[in-house]
Amino acid sequence: MKDELLSRIHEEEARLASLERETSEARARLEALRRDLATTTAAVDGRARLGGAAATSAPSSPAEKVWLFRRLFHGRGDVFPRLWVNERNGTKGYAPACFTLLEDETYWFLAADFDGDSWADDVAAFAQTCRSRR
């Protein structure tokens, strides 16, 4: 009886591991499809031109704002709320956030800020590093 139960437990653990692998693979395929859709949408949608601001209407719904954020910054599918607090006036709220490192360890969006007197040298070093890592 004990051996039979242990055998069944082992079978169910193996089945669960297989299902977890399938789930992970399905999530990766789904994320790739979402990236393809976002790329296609951005190419077709004139509001997302490079160098120009995206057109929005003032009374955008929260769903529209999240859609716009995800389309422009294109992080992973696991968007989550991030609490912000304005220390000066005490207001607080939530803003959508996402983890920008994609599951294949690449980025769709990268921001860099160059300040101070050495900004030009910093930009040159950054550009050189990017060229050497292609």
Structural domain boundaries in the chain: 1-47
Task: Give me the phi and psi of 17, to 5 degrees please.
Answer: -60, -40
Per-residue pLDDT of the chain (134 residues; tens, 9 = 90+): 999 989 999 999 999 999 898 988 888 888 888 877 776 665 455 444 434 445 555 667 888 877 777 777 666 667 678 899 999 999 999 987 766 677 787 777 777 889 999 999 999 999 898 888 76
- The encoded tokens of residue 67 equal 């859609």
From the number of C-beta atoms within 10 Å of its C-beta (0-12, 13-18, 19+), residue 17 rates as exposed
